[in-house]
Each structure stands twice: as C-alpha cells, then as structure tokens.
Amino acid sequence: MESFNRIKLKNGLRLIFVPQPSSLATTVMVLVEAGSKYESKDKNGLSHFLEHMCFKGTIKRPRPIDIAGELDGLGAQYNAFTSHEFTSYYAKAKNEAFDKILDLVADLYLNPTFEEQEIEKEKGVIIEELNMYEDIPQRKVQELFMEIVYGDQPAGWPIGGQKDVIRKITRDDFTTYRNMHYLPQSTIVVVAGAHAGEAEQKNIADRIESYFTSLHEGGKGGKVKVIEAQDKPSELVRFKESDQTHFILGFRAFDVFDKRRYALQVLSDILGGGMSSRLFQKVREEMGAAYYVNASPDLFSDHGLIAAAAGVDHTKLEAVISAVLREYSRFKDEPVPIKELERAKDHLVGNLFLSVETSDELGYFYGGQEVMGVSLETPQVAAEKIKLVTADEIQAVAKELFVNNRLNLALIGPFKDRTFNAILKI
C-alpha cells in the first residue's frame, strides 16, 4: 500500500492523494468542517439539510435527476453524510470515469442553487428520515445516549435536527451557514485509487485548484466547546412498545488527540469487538439474552465516549445491565491476560487493513483524520501503535474512566415510570 501525499493550496484548501495502483476504481471525496456541533439550537439540523440540498440542483445541473442520472449512468457509487463535526460528499467510479466524477463532486459542492421549491419538497424527505429513525430503536437509542451524556448543548442534539426546526429553515439559512463554514481553509479534497498516482497528482491538483477558486472566502465560524458536567450515574428511559429493549451503557472518555486512544481501542475490542469478545460470550452465548451486543469508542475533537450497546429480552434487562457493568469493572480489577490481549490486537489490525481495501474507504481513512485535525498516519503506523498497547495501559485507562460520575445509560423499551438507578453503579 503506497503512502499519501498532502498538499495545501494557496487559498488554504487541502488535497490528499492516496495512490492505489491496483484499484479498478477511483474515489473523489470532499470533507468540510461543518456538522451539527457548529449549529445553534434554532438551526439544529441545518448541516444535514444542506448536505441533502447539494444533490438537488446546481447551476450546471439544475435538476436532481441531472446529478443522479449522470452518476448512475457512470455506474458510480455516491453519497454524502453529516456527522457532529464534519460533512462529507463522495463518488467512486471506474477509473475511466474519473474526470466526470471529479467534475460532478466539485459541482454539487461548489454550486448548489438552493431552489425554494426543492427546499420545501426536501423538508418532507428530511422529516420522513427522522420518522424512520424513530421506528428503528437500535438507531434512535444512539441519539438518546448523546442527549443524556451532554444534555442541551450541540453535542447532545440530534444530527438530523428537530421537525419543527426543519419546517422553518429558509434559503437564507443555507446561504448564510454555507458562507460561514464551506470555506477553502475548512475544505479537504481526497483523491484515492488508481488515478491518485504520483505522475498524475500535479495535473489533478491544478484542476482541483481551478474548480475551487470559486469557493467563498472568509473567516470560519467556530463551534461551542463541550461542557462536561456529571457527578453521579445518569439514565434516560424512553417508552416504546417493542419486542426488544435496546440500550447503550457507557462512560465519558477523552478526545481524539489523547495518546491513550489506542489503549481504549484495544479495551473496546476485548469488551465487545467480535464474537470472541467478553460481552458477546457473556450476554449472547452464556445468558442467551441478546442477538446483537457490541462495544466501541467514539472520540471527538474535545470529548469522547466508550459505550456498549445491545438489544435484549425485556425480562433479562436488569441481569444484562449488571453483567455489562461487571465486565467493565473487570478491566479495573485485573490485567487483561496476554493471550486475550494479543488476540484483540490481531483482530483490530486485521480489521483495519480489511477496511481500507477499497478506494472510498482508503480515502475516508485519511480524509477523516485530516478533517478532525489529527496528524495523518498510514494504516501501517496505526497498526504498530495498536500492537504496542500493554495490559497496564488498559488497566490504567479503565481505572480512570470506569467510575460512577462518568456512567450513563440510555434505553428504549416498554417501560413506564421505571428507573434502573439501583443497579446503575460501578
């Protein structure tokens, strides 16, 4: 796997080339430092709504079908997504279609028209997307967990926003927000795959520069720093008639720049990273209480989490919560055995290399680091840091994080006026 090349243009826009000579496809990806944490409460959901609107027409391609039809006609895979801290747009196609997907992705990012009629129609689409998530408790509980941990601040608000806010968004809201955040210095363009080779980089960089000179320039709007405040375990129980209870149980952690993130990553894998993980073996294999159970860290620019998630039998819920808490406690009480530690490292490293096999995932691996402000690492470097994690480092992280004033539970199930405070302690 070849390394990457990072270039910064005169206007501040960053380019990342990731060669993959054997790839049959090339990916063009644009990432921008604009997500729900950059919003005010009366505009919550605007970042995600804007992402949708970029596909609804440009000056060159005025109708949604003009964009989708051209991409489909190339056999391309394409999409966009919005997170708390950034938004990403991408297209992947056979190498022969590279010039066209570069033009398309640049066009939809740079030249959205925000037609009033399309805005009004898309409000219905966004609201139905929010309704869909309400009907998927496995997905909805993730929003509830962020709400119970962070409360009424941007980190605790849903990325998709609230329906009453979506209905009030106007064309001026899009243009104002875009001029605050969609700027050269906050934009990254990634080219990954066969067309990202050294011989082509100068020509492609010149073309990208010519496209993006039209990008509005100005001072970047910031985001509010996350306030961490908790003195005891917290819970949020949402009533819903369902066949399973879905819950997330986890702890406040640290930000993505913390060097302990590799120890937390290995700990999470041991806890719930696969079928040999402790939670899978305990909750599914031994207790027969769940179909899905897993654990993972989620680290941001100024805060972070580690959490376990499961969908369980209602009658076994308290037993499962207690079992998960005991598994968390084990990391504090006893060092991870060397055989289990090495298996988790091998699992993580193996998954890491499998995850960057395709040009889009390889592009996101580097683009995701860049947009978060993390120093770029190759998969090989990241793998070496995972391999260096020790049992002592894992135990030290567990002792610091797995305490009552960092513990949170979010839950969706058929429970009214029910509290789990009595067992919510570690």
State yes or no: pLDDT of 2 exceeds 80. no
pLDDT, tens digit, 9 for 90 and up, residues 203-220: 999 999 999 998 989 999
Confidence band (pLDDT; 50, 70, 90) for 99? very high
Q: Which helix (H) or strand (E) holds 194?
A: none
Q: What is the mean pLDDT of the chain?
A: 97
What are the CA-CA distances from residue 81 to residues 49, 70, 160, 334 (Å)?
Answer: 10, 20, 11, 40
Residue at 335: amino acid letter: P
Provide the CA 326 distance to its chain's centre, in angstroms: 28
Q: Which helix (H) or strand (E) holds 401?
A: helix 391-401
Q: How many residues make up the chain in this entry?
A: 426
State yes or no: pLDDT of 8 exceeds 90. yes
Please report the DSSP string for 245-300 in residue order. Answer: EEEEEEEE---TT-TTHHHHHHHHHHHHSSTTSHHIIIIIIIT--EEEEEEEEEE-
Cβ proximity of 412 and 240 under 8 Å: yes
State yes or no: pLDDT of 1 exceeds 80. no
| DSSP E strands, 40-86 | 77-82
103-121 burial by CB neighbour count: b if 16+ within 10 A, else e? bbbbbbbbebbbbeebbee
pLDDT at 3: 86
The three-state (H, E, C) secondary structure of 335-354, written as one string: CCCHHHHHHHHHHHHHHHHH
Q: What is the CA radius of gyration of the chain?
A: 23
pLDDT, tens digit, 9 for 90 and up, residues 337-381: 999 999 999 999 999 999 999 999 999 999 999 999 999 999 999
Closest residue by Cα to residue 221 from 9, 35, 8, 11 = 35
Active-site residue flag, 51: yes
Distance CA 120, CA 175 (A): 16
5-212 architecture in CATH? 2-Layer Sandwich (3.30)
What is the arithmetic mean of pLDDT over 325-340? 98
What number does CATH give the domain 234-423?
A: 3.30.830.10
Question: Could you give the residue range(s) of every CATH 3.30.830.10 domain in the chain?
Answer: 5-212, 234-423
Residue at 170: amino acid letter: T
Cβ proximity of 87 and 35 under 8 Å: yes
pLDDT, tens digit, 9 for 90 and up, residues 260-316: 999 999 999 999 999 999 999 999 999 999 999 999 999 999 999 999 999 999 999
pLDDT at 31: 98
What is the arithmetic mean of pLDDT over 383-403? 98
211-250 burial by CB neighbour count: b if 16+ within 10 A, else e? bbeebeeeebbebeebeeebeebbbbbbebeeebbbbbbb
Q: Which helix (H) or strand (E) holds 9?
A: none
Closest residue by Cα to residue 91 from 25, 41, 147, 181 = 25
Distance CA 175, CA 384 (A): 44
Distance CA 84, CA 179 (A): 19
DSSP-derived pairing of the beta strands 14-19 and 77-82: unpaired
Tell me if residue 422 falls in helix, strand or coil.
Answer: helix
In the set 51, 118, 122, 143, the catalytic residue is: 51
Cβ proximity of 109 and 40 under 8 Å: no
Both tokens assigned to 355: 């995850």
Residue at 134: amino acid letter: E
Distance CA 390, CA 246 (A): 33
